[in-house]
Each structure stands twice: as C-alpha cells, then as structure tokens.
A and B are shown apart, each in its own frame.
Chain A
Amino acid sequence: MSRAGLVALILMTASVAHADLEDDLGLGPEAAALGGAVTAVPVGFASLHYAPALLAYRGMRPGGAELQIGYVFGSPVLHVTGLDGAPINTARIAETSSVVIGARFDLAHELGLEGLVGAIAISTPVSSMFSYTVRPDDDVQWMTLTDGSSHLSIEAGLAYRPVEWLSFGIAARLALAVELFTSAVVTHVDTYVDATTGDNIIDVGTRIGARGAVSARVSPIASVAVMPIPELRIGVTYRGASYVDDWGWSRVQGVPGLGDIGYVHRFAHWVRPHEVSIGAAVRPIPALELSADLTWEHWAEATTGNFDAAPGRFGDIFVPAVGVRVTVIAGLDVLAGYRFVRAPFSNFGGPSNLLINDTHHASLGLAAALDTLTGQADLPFTLRGSFRLSILDEAREEKDFRRFRNDASWTGNPGYPGYVFGGVVPSVQISAEARW
C-alpha cells in the first residue's frame, strides 16, 4: 500500500474527536505518556501547545525537520446511576477517534536567523470540521466527554533561542465560531382541535430564510524556557482561553397582533480556560529524565454551553503532573506519567446536571528511534505509542430543594433525587515520525 493510501485509510476510519485532545488525552503519544508534564520537556511539534519555547531546545539538531502522523483512540466506559440504583440515560458517549498531523522545522537556513524554529499541528475530526451540541443545562450530560465541542484544532507557532540557555516561543490555537440568523414571515395563523388527541393546535405557516457565517477565533500561547545546563530545563507557559461563541437570532415577522417577535441566542463552547503552567525537568543520569508540572486553570470565568456563568459552580484548579523517561537501551525509551485534575465544576444540588469528575490520569509509553536502535542511518524514523487510563473518581449529586424555586421544579428535575457518576476512559495513541 502506498503512503498516500495508508493516510487515506487512517482518515477514513477517523471519526469525531470529543474530549479536548491536547489536555484531556494528550497531543501525541509522547506528551500523553508523560502525563502532560512537558512544560520543560521538548516533545517535538506537540511543544506548540505545552511549551512553544521548547520547539528550539538546547541541544537540538540544527537544520533538521520532523513530520509526525498519529492516531488517537479513546473509549469512555462511564456510568450514571440514580440513587435508587436505576441507570440514568445520558446523551450518547461516543468514542474518540482522531488523526493528528504535526511538523517541526528549523527555519535558521530559510530566514537566516540562527535558533528560529517553526511548527504546525492539526488534529481533526474528519467527518466534520466542527460539531457543537448544546443541551439544556439540566439535561444529565457529561460535560467534556460527549459532542459538546468536537472540533478541528490547528496550532502554529515559532520559537527563538537567542542564546544556548534561553528560548522564547509563541503559538496560536485556532477555533471556529458560528453565527446563525433565521427569519420567518408569517403567512397564516389557524387554530383547530386535533381530532385524535383533542389538543388545541396552533398552526402557524411561515416562509423561512437563514443566513450563517463561520469565523476564526484565535487564542495565544506563549512560553519561556531556561536551560542553564543540558541536564536541567525550567519552563513557564501561558495558554489563552480557548472557546468559541455561537450566536445569532431567530425572528418571526408579521405575527398578527404582535408584529415582529423573536429572540437572540448565545451559546459558548468552552475548550480550555486561561492557563499558566510551570515545569522543570532534570536528567540526573543520562538514562533517566524526571519532569514535574503545576498548571493553574482559570475555570472561574467559564460558562456553561448555554452561556450561564453559573456563579460559584465553576472554580479555578491547580493540576499537578509528573513524568519519567527511562532510556532502556540507546534508541528505546520507556515513558510514564501521572496527572491529577480536580473537577472544575460542581452542580451543588442545583438545577444543572453537568457531569465532570476529579480525574486521575496514569500513562505509559514507548519511543523507538529506529536509526539509533538499529544503527542504520537510513532509517530516520521514530515510532511511539502510549496508553493512558483516566480514572474518574465516583462523585455523588443530590438535588437540594433549597436551590429550586418550588417543589415542582425540584422533583421535576431530570436528576431528581440524585445520582452517582464515574467511570474510566482508556485511550491509546500511536505515531510515526520521519526526520530529515
């Protein structure tokens, strides 16, 4: 099979990406295997997201370029069980199956500036460039694991290392915002009684028109890396909030007795909030590298998909992560990582039923540089694979009458009287990288 045919096959089998790839599953198997503790660890093109300064890391191969093609598969196994023991149905929880393509290239020769490196990455749901679903906040639904924000993600950036021990990097993450305007002109209004059900029916005839537009929304990423000695790196990364608006209006014109009526809708599809990561990596012996990260995530400013700020229910979190890389033999690395993400949202017994758990991410991975491993310089390829198990701590939600205006809305809530929810999300990634 030709290389083009292989790529086409992979693209055909890929479906919609669901959870946020970069942060929930990891962008590329190397970052995934290290638990995302890569603010101070160069991970090829994937450093675009975690630490763009490390696109130009100390000790990099000058004049080189890399192209990596990868595949991600995740299959959530989740449950929501009512307090009476009966399962509660939620919106379909689909598997994540996505393709990631990334490239990193030294621009020193092309632009005449030593230490300048560029990179680009695309992770894409293939069936559609983006797909946003918004349900009422009181629908029992997984907050990040369904199709609330399956989307194309494009990142591109530059890094510059003016001196051996210091580099800077910037990147941009692209998302797509939506505007939709619907107009309808009333042609007739009739009322009648349904012969079968006896219900009063209002039959409104309209002539409908619609106008839509998709626009880009860019969020910035910036980082600094300090590498005082080859065995020690320290990094700081800022990632701007990544979310898109979905807004517009629906208007019905010429309603008898009313004139024009309608409403403006505004939804928000949150991918990530503002984040700041600090990290350090040390190599105490040549065969061992240890890394640790701490990320502050500013979820307090987020909204639900229905643009509800949900006061008190979102909160900032700190995310610790650690990673270890062991070089077993020259050219073969074993990687492992752990990451703990506290739930940034709680329903607190109120009307909303958005499900998100405290989550432990444990991961393992392998990286094999074929040229080093085999001693054949004409095999400049690296194969990587990772397995990550995300364990969702079981959480309990109990509806509190004090958060409802009356008993009817309390007992009528889809989550009444309460439920427990949790599960696991196993995911695997594989990639092949070619170097020039």
Chain B
Amino acid sequence: MATLDAVAIAPPRRALRVPPGAWLVALLVVAVGWLIVPPLAILVYGSATDTPPAVAPHFTLDTLRYAFGRPRIWNALANSALYAAATATLVLGIGGFLAWLVERTDSSVRRLTDLFTLAPILMPSVLLISGWILLLGPKSGMVNLIARDWFGRTDPVLDIYSFWGMVWVGTLQELPLAFLWLWPAFRAMNPDLEEAGRAAGASFGTVMRRITLPILRPTILGAWIIFFIYSLGALSVPLLIGLPAKIFLYSTEIYLAYRRVPSDLNIASAYSILFLLVTFISIWAYRRATADSTRFVTVTGKAYRPRLIQLGRWQILVTALAVVLLLLIAGLPLFVLVWNAFLPYPQAPSIASIKLLTTRNFAAALDYGPAIRAVGNSVMLGLAAGVVSTVLGGLIAWCALRLTIARRWIALVDQLATAPLAIPGMIFGVGLAWLYLVLPVPIYGSLWILLLAYVAIHLPFAVRICSSGLTQLHPELEEAGAVAGAGWFARLWRIVLRLAAPTLMASLLYVALRSFREYAASIFLTAPGTEVFAVLVLDMWEGGNSNILSAYVTMVMALISVGALVASWLGRRLGVQA
C-alpha cells in the first residue's frame, strides 16, 4: 500500500452531516403527521368539553355522559353493526365468487373484468343509490310503477326504504371494490396446491373446503374486517335510504348531531371517538388475521400460470349471473337515471311516456343554484388532491423502497399514510371541522379544508399505487444514473419520474376520481360557495325534484366518462416506448 500513501491526496470533501434523504424523510414525517394526527386528536378535546370550538374550553365529562347515556345511540350502534356485518358478508360472498370465476375458471366473464373496475368510477355511490331509489322507491320507483301500471298491483312489491333495502344497495356499492380486493389473492394462489389435493383423491368440494378456503382464510377474514369498517363508516346509504325509512345508524347520529341547530360538535366528537375506537380494534384484528400470512402460500410474489377449471355446461348459467350482477351494479341504475332525466315526472316506460320525453330537466338542472359551481369545485379539488396525494405518496413509496437511512421514521410515515384506509371519511370531516375552527388558520369554509380532507383520506391509495409501480423499477436503473454522474435530483427527474409516469398518472387519476365521489367528509366541510358534487346530490334529494336530479347526474356522468377517456389516452401517451 506504499504507493497509496505516496500519491497526492486531493482535498477531502467532507460528507454532508445530514444526507439529503434525511431532510426528505423529516419533511414527510411533518407533512403526513400534520395531515392525519391533529384531526383525530382534536376529537378527544371535543368530547372532553361542552363548549363549542374557539370558545374558552370548559372541560367536563357531561358530554360523554350525555352522548352515551341514551339508549337511542346504543340502538343505532346495534343497527350499524348488523348492517355492516350483513353487507360485509354478502359483498365478500359475491365478490369472492366473481373473483374465483374470473381467475380460476374458463368462464367468459373474464372479459367483463374491466367493466367491474370501471363501474365504480362511472357510478359514484350517490348515483348508485339515487338510481336504486328511482328503481325501488315505494311510490315512484320504476319497478313499483311497472307493477302498478302493467300488473295492477296496488301496494309496492319491493320497498327500498327498509333494512334489507339498505343492505342490498350497500352490497352493490362495495362489490367492485371487494372484487378488486380479492382478485389478487386468487391470482397469487398456486394451483398446484389444489391439484395436489385432487391427485390425492379429494373431490372438488373437499378440495374447496379443506384446501382452498383454509389457504385463503387470512385474506378473506382481513377483507371482511375492512368491508365491515367501510360499511360502518358509510354515510350515503344511511342518509338517503335509512333516514326516510326511520332506520338510524351510528353514522346517521353523528351527522344529525352535527346538523342540529345549533350544531353540536361536542356530541359528534364523542360519537366519533367511539367509532375511532371500534376502527382501531378492527385494525388490530385485521393485523392479527393477516399477521401470519407468510405461513400461507398465497402471498408469494411469483406469478403462476393458473390452469383453468372447465365450467362446461355451467358456462351459460355463470355468465348470465355475472351479467345480471353487472346490470344491477351499473346497468339498471344508469338506465333509470337517464330515463328519468328526460321525463317531467317518474313513470314506467310505456308508449305514452315516450311522448312526454323532454330536455327541460337539463336546463332546470343547470339553473339549479350551485349546480355548475359544485361540479367545478369537485373537478378542481379532485385534480389538486390527485396531484398532492401522488407527490406525497410517490415520495413515501420511493423512500420506503430505496432509502437505507431512517428506516424507523420511514416505517412510521408509511403506517400513518396508510391508516386512513380504515378510518371513515366522516371522522376526518368532523375532526377537520373542529381543528380549523380552533386553529387561527382561516381555511374553515374554504376549499383548502376540503383539499386537506381529500389528501388525507386518499393518501393510502396513492402510496399503494405508487409503491406497486416503483417496485417494478429495477434499482440498478437509478444506480446507473448515479455512476453516470447524475445527482439525486437529476436521477429523480430524468429517470424515476419518466419511468414511473404511467404509475403516477394512474395514482393521480384514481385519487381525483375518488375525491370527486367523496361525500362522507365533505358533508361536514362544505359551505355556501364551496359546494361539491356528491354533497349537492345528497342535498337535492332532501328538497329537490328527482327528475332534475337525474338530468344533473346524467350530465356529470357524461363528463366523468369523457374525463376518464381523455385521462387513459393521456396515460397511454405518457407510457414507456416498448
């Protein structure tokens, strides 16, 4: 090593004490922490006082005592639990069946998968529910009108305003998501395991019972818990169907406490706290259910080439079933909405009714006070939330995949950012409303507070989409940039960003579309001037004309479809030349 010491030493460059990655992680901890923690923490403060926000607080246990002292709330909780359990069970049964059909059989349903992923985009839940009310409303629902006009029935055959009406619509609403949730599990499962069972002499049913289902158990159990939480936190079905039917759910009570004049945010906070508690217990149960999933073979990264089960003569039946489901989720509600949009008042399709067709509803909808402004706000907020969530989510995913420093902090950010997946949007709505009534930041009643809510709620999706996209990028692609002499910014800008563009675009779009349909948090945060589309539809049900409402949502659906088409075209243009 003598030669080593002999050569002239270039002036040593001191390494930075704090590597740039650490600054990034610190920034993310602060940003994500600020988004998620204070809106939830403030609820404790709200339920421990009986004074409205921005007034000198009076700490007391009376709020909690009053909130949980009435049997009414426990009834609502029981209703909610029943509703959520029924919905989660149904949605998993049907969703699991569909996922199995698509992934493991030669069913021709396979070609319909894209439609399942598109349906929830074209049918935000407020539209689906609106459609079903227009179908099954006791007086003016199309099915009941047909029963009356065509078959002379005097009483409604099917009434949406009932517990099972709620479960029905709730199930249809979550079905596409359940399908997307379970599909990868079926895809990742090694069919050898089942075939080994068959080879050992077990029948199809026995293999299903003793091998397939036990292997999928953690996935199914985990999914059940997630959908239980989702249904528990849903607000649109309880408000649009439950409230007129006088079936009060827990989420309805939170909304009513908030809507009371004067608004009782203390009680709403107290209710929210219990809700949050239930959520955390469920997350804990979810973690337990999926913790030892490495023991189960479904979660290998390896792609199998599944051998498909031949359906044979069941083919027609199964296909028909899937088509009917698709009709129920999207076809029928879509049809009834468009039909009603062109009619002056609800009625069954007939020769006479065709003569009544009019476009006057569209003009009326455009004239309806904040209608246009609400769509404008929603589009703007959606895009802004998409951009912000994707930037945050992309950075979080990149740090988690690539940085070797501050691993604990990165894990913390990752967990914080994915927590809203299981926290109902409503809770964020109540929390954010409190927080910015207390803090001297004047964003309450502005679009900014809605943006904060949308980013917080949809951050988990952005993180997941970005991280699955970035995982595909071989780390050597970035290292090659480093040894070529590119600094971290040039690498991020000229390599990572370009290669991940389709992923980032997908994340942006997904968050934008989900924000567009968001109502559960928005309903607590909108103010005159900051109306958003989904909340406006809820309002229109309270006081409006359902045909004008139909015209309004028909126009908006057309708008979303065009938007989604343009975006997917853009996404393809941005794609890597391969």
The answer to whether A and B assemble together is no
Interface residues of A (CB under 8 A from B): none
